[in-house]
Amino acid sequence: MKLNVQLHLHTIESKTQNIPAESVIHPKLAIDTAKKNGIDVIAVTDHNTTRKISSVKDFAEKKGIIIIKGIEIDTDSGHLIGFGVDEEIEKKIKLGIDLLETAGLIKDFGGEVYIPHPFDIRKKGVGPRVKEVDGIIEVFNSMNIFGFENKYADIVADKLKKPKAVGADAHTLSMIPRCITVVDAEPDEYSIIKNIKQGNVEFKNCTYMTLREFKEWILTRISLSYDDIIKSIQNGWEPDEWYTILANSRLIKPLEKAVLEFGIRTKKSRLWDFVTYSSYIFAYFYSELSKREFNAFICTL
């Protein structure tokens, strides 16, 4: 039977270092949204944790939604997702875990490897190391808004003869209906994963996150992480990106706090449209550098 599957979704259990609230999706609302949009299956792929899967699964069963047990793991070379994994895998994950060790762990814990956004410009994907990993390649991700990231993933999947799938990388409710993998399978986790790997799939609703969604998502994250952000401004940001190093400057800190307070008070201000579009333009030029690097890799295949 044909099943509509959302393969890449994060709940409020997904956290990041500097702005902890990453996804703003409450698990039960995710299930309700899936049901309203004709989605039959959801893979819960929170970052480095399987904590919400059991509770989500119980609620989903009452609504007639199938849950795939998933986890998105931060490796030393980018993210890997495990589908159908035993939840005990979480205990084996450590900071900076090796990419191929992670792929092996996923298989050891009964799962299948899924390679999300391999050419993400933020270097959160595995990039050229995609050729070293045996897994399903995500060839469309809604957050890859410049387009070439998905195009290159599709080209590489063809060149390496690896199975394909798509996923929204949903962090907000509005993203859940995007990037649906339609799988011809029996309505159970094992059959769905098996048939995705065998290529018994079609794709639909492959559209990008809008700048408006991006703006609303970031402002919501900031509101939910307010206390943590204040602490980071006062005590120093973890320097995990170049811009966090800049943010630790004495001259920048007072400006950060003023902007934060203004943002909390004026979420509907047109200023945030300006900030969003300015950020997009900056990211576009940055993406061109990534594009050249990834293009050079693809030409070697």
Contact 41, 68 (CB under 8 A): yes
DSSP designation for 128: G
Asked whether residue 154 falls in the same domain as residue 50, the answer is yes
**CA 73 remoteness from chain centre:** 11
Asked whether residue 200 falls in the same domain as residue 234, the answer is no
Collapsing DSSP states into helix, strand and coil, what is residue 72? Answer: strand
Lookup result for tokens 């030409």: 299
Phi-psi domain of 262 (left: phi exceeds 0; alpha: psi -120 through 50; beta: other): alpha
pLDDT of residue 257: 81
**83-87, 132-136, 269-273, 283-287 — which is least confidently predicted?**
269-273
Picking from 153, 175, 209, the residue at the C-terminal end of a domain is: 209
Domain hosting 247: range is 212-298
Picking from 209, 229, 254, the residue at the C-terminal end of a domain is: 209
Asked whether residue 141 falls in the same domain as residue 260, the answer is no
Asked whether residue 125 falls in the same domain as residue 218, the answer is no
Collapsing DSSP states into helix, strand and coil, what is residue 102? Answer: helix
Asked whether residue 220 falls in the same domain as residue 168, the answer is no
pLDDT of residue 240: 66
Picking from 162, 180, 209, the residue at the C-terminal end of a domain is: 209
Asked whether residue 179 falls in the same domain as residue 223, the answer is no
pLDDT tens digits along 209-225: 999 999 999 989 988 99
pLDDT of residue 242: 66
Q: How many domains does the chain have?
A: 2
Asked whether residue 185 falls in the same domain as residue 38, the answer is yes
Asked whether residue 87 falls in the same domain as residue 171, the answer is yes
Residue 8 structure tokens: 């890449």
DSSP designation for 77: T
Q: What residue type is assigned to position 83 of the chain?
A: F
Whether pLDDT at 241 is above 90: no
CA distance 247 to 232: 10
Contact 232, 18 (CB under 8 A): yes
The pTM assigned to this predicted structure is 0.94
Asked whether residue 148 falls in the same domain as residue 117, the answer is yes
% of residues, the chain, pLDDT over 90: 75
Asked whether residue 133 falls in the same domain as residue 14, the answer is yes
Collapsing DSSP states into helix, strand and coil, what is residue 112? Answer: strand
Collapsing DSSP states into helix, strand and coil, what is residue 232? Answer: helix
Asked whether residue 183 falls in the same domain as residue 227, the answer is no
Whether pLDDT at 68 is above 90: yes
Give the CATH number for residue 133.
Answer: 3.20.20.140
CA distance 202 to 30: 22
pLDDT tens digits along 184-195: 999 999 999 999
pLDDT of residue 172: 97
Asked whether residue 233 falls in the same domain as residue 198, the answer is no
